Amino acid sequence: MSIHINHNLPDKTPLPRTFRAALCDPPWSLQQKGDLGAANHYDLMTDERILGMGEAMQEIMAENSFCFLWVTTATVPLGIKVLEAWGYRYTSFYFWAKPRLMLGNTFRNSGELLLLGVRGKGTKVAFKGQPNWGMHALQAHSRKPEEIHLIVERLIGGDGPFLELFARRPAPSSKHWDIWGNECDATISLAKWGYPVPADHQPNHAPAAAAETRP
């Protein structure tokens, strides 16, 4: 039986207060519509739509939880507003140092920021020896380092459940990660809050999983 059934309704809507941490890589629209922008690679979302996910996040995330939010240089202020709209207070960041010069209107970007938001009174990380930067290899456009999942797991501790929003592939981990996004086989649904994805229209995986257990 699928491990995701434990905390999802039959339509894959997560039960309240399910996830201990969320790793999110929104398709920001700010400064992404030019010849070299992300609009050439995937559909973008308006600021209002991203901010509007707060209702869902405040319901499905645990009372004491963490939100890791990737931002571009241009969207750092917006990213902090998104954390607040989703029910989190900004506390720190992780810097992904890239081994080459990228674009930039003033400084040439050589990395990306992962903002960290915390929710709940007395919420603490399980591991206090994690540096706030790392140099990781560049891969396909917008693809983030697999090491980030391991960092999240180390900081939070335990086996999950964790959530990746705007995912493109299953999490590179043996621990319990749910995924959601337009480009992945989403294991949860946010359609209840007005955020449908293609996987919502696919047959629920539960019957198939049950069939596999037959003798």
Give the model's pLDDT for residue 110.
75
> Distances from the Cα of 142 to the Cαs of 127, 193, 194, in angstroms?
28, 26, 25
* CA atoms of 142 and 59, how far apart (whole Å): 28
Q: Does an H or E element contain 79, and which?
A: helix 76-85
Backbone angles phi, psi at 114, to 5 degrees: -115, 105
Query: What pLDDT is stored for residue 106 in this prediction?
Result: 66
Nearest CA to 6 out of 164, 168, 187 is that of 187
Residue 107 confidence (pLDDT): 67
Alpha-carbon distance values, 139 to 116, 142, 145 (Å): 23, 8, 8
Domain extents for the chain? Answer: 3-211
Alpha-carbon distance of 125 to 202, in angstroms, equals 37
SS3 call for 48: helix
Residue 140 has a pLDDT of 63
For residue 127, which phi and psi values (nearest 5 degrees)?
-130, 125
Count Cα neighbours of 98 within 13 Å in the Cβ-side half-sphere.
17
Identify the architecture of domain 3-211 in CATH.
3-Layer(aba) Sandwich (3.40)
pLDDT in tens, the chain (215 residues): 456 657 889 999 999 999 999 999 999 875 545 554 444 455 679 999 999 999 999 999 999 999 999 998 889 999 999 999 999 999 999 998 887 766 656 666 778 899 999 999 989 999 889 988 888 767 766 678 889 999 999 999 999 899 999 999 999 899 999 999 998 999 999 999 999 999 998 765 443 333 222 22
pLDDT at site 73? 86
Task: Give me the pLDDT at residue 86, please.
Answer: 98
Query: How confident is the model at residue 191, as a pLDDT?
Result: 96
